A and B are shown apart, each in its own frame.
Chain A
């Protein structure tokens, strides 16, 4: 099967005194249609910048170096002009970030933000976009979606905001969802709900997911493969079970050894 996403030798440069720094320094990875690849690393490893680069969202003065290649669904992302790039964002790949409050527009209702995305990608009437937006809000499990359509982001809890972000991401039916620490800001019981939702949406839409995270716990039970990133490079890529059972790279070994673990005994049977 051909890859949905194929990244070759991605390098991102930031100007610094004494010459450019490369926080992403030769990353190559692939994601197959419907696959969940986890990109795992600690802060500063370059995992977030890698995710941003896929949609050409690297913040200036950072720039993607010549020689890098990003192909998404057979499109050369780095060669696109502005308008086709706009169409690619959302339609081919959509992104969900850690902090939904910072990603949502505070002066538009959440429903307006979902229907805005629908209308940006499909030639539909305002009325049809609104219906589609309500259906999306219902699909992501927002309680009472018809009423919540008119809610502003600050009126929702963190878990509900992240559900709205997922509705926006789904609005253009992307083939790839890039989820950057989607549950790191959420409480553990809310995190479990949002991750279950992500699993359900992925199954229903056959979406591929690039899950960017520092938390190997949320990776273990859902990723098909794991890529471990350190200092701008991918040091190891392996199927999830193999990576946890026999990590090959010393950094992966130390990362796995450092995870605090719960004692699992009687384990809260109800």
Chain B
């Protein structure tokens, strides 16, 4: 068993992926920053000085303290405090956690829907294809953010504020996942159309395999690399969509903030000079999205770029 893992590692070290990664400084830096941010988010409960969800640890007297380095700062709060006296460092760590969780969850949902519909449309063709792709076209022409805003608005109006706040994470994953599935479905369909004509598919058909088996066991594994590329970029998009929805008040409540709702709650205090409440989470958001996008660009260049752009 150990020999198998060693050889796999060797295969990885010899791969083109690793080769081009080692030579791309931007990719290396982005990857390190991303790993750092994900680790900080995952271990937020261990790293954060205070628990922002625990009301007992918050003192309103500490509200709107500036970050260290400015006059009036308190060393206990390196990035200052927000209007409720919560430590900014802790809320940002927990907020990144929520944002990443939603981004990742939404992309998993998109991938499930997108792969399923993309495979069906591409492999079955005909009427199934034209109906599914028409729906995708129409949905994309409305722009995914618009669809997400409308679905979010309808959910919020039907559930009410309190209820919506409790299940907001699942709601957001659902909204963003459903709003963005056409992106992945189109990519999958394009690669399925290319794979479908190849001989191994004919061979599988001749051997009498069922449609489902050919779709999922034979074609799907060969379409994974473009899916991987677009899924990376889609995580960044999902995080931005989540932030936008939260900023509009259609996302995470202030009691369980994501980066977007931190920016929103800080925005109310920007006119009073407390810029850090809104701009520091904003900077974290931009860095997070930027490194994911840069990694996505790099992956697209390394893996087959044609399918993604088409």
The answer to whether A and B interact is no
